Amino acid sequence: MIDDVEDLKCLSGKILVLGVSGSIAAYKSADLASEFRKAGAEVFVVMTESATRFISPLTMGTLSRNPVSVSLWDEEKNWQPGHIELADQADLFVVAPATANQIANFTHGNCPDLLSSIYLATPAPILIAPAMNGKMFEHPATAGNREILSERGVCFVEPVVGELACGYEGVGKMAPVEEIFSRAVKLLS
């Protein structure tokens, strides 16, 4: 995946926050974390509770080489709100996969979880890779939410057509890891 020295230069020393929400595509975030780290980025993974049902924080922590954050309640260990510190330090905020629920939270400023709180506090560029059932993806509410976020400067890596976890064939499958990685590089270049 890292086929260009320029990729390494642009990611080297950068702080990436990788958000993982509760989708079957969460397993692909492991490869993404690994590739970002290999390219020299410091990767901090933030997972929703739902995401931990699909892939473990242990896996993500091992591949990112950093502790994984799941809950705002984990912040009891320090006086300083860690989510604000992480939001401030991020050079890029990537959410892959992003569910319809997570996209709606981002759009409407809802913060029911750590991932949404960091999203709302970060000034970093944001890249979202949706993954969901095709009917959910094409629903006017989701389409409207994506449009609002795009108008706010959020970048999307559109899902692809394929066999979905629900058994349907159609749009909604998370974009390939290579494509997400490439878009992240472009955003940081």
Active site residues: 166
Query: Are 156 and 129 a contacting pair, CB within 8 Å?
Result: yes
**Dihedral through CA 177, CA 14, CA 102, CA 151, nearest 10?**
-100
> SS3 breakdown of the chain: % helix, strand, coil, rounded to 5?
50, 20, 30
Query: Are 33 and 64 a contacting pair, CB within 8 Å?
Result: yes
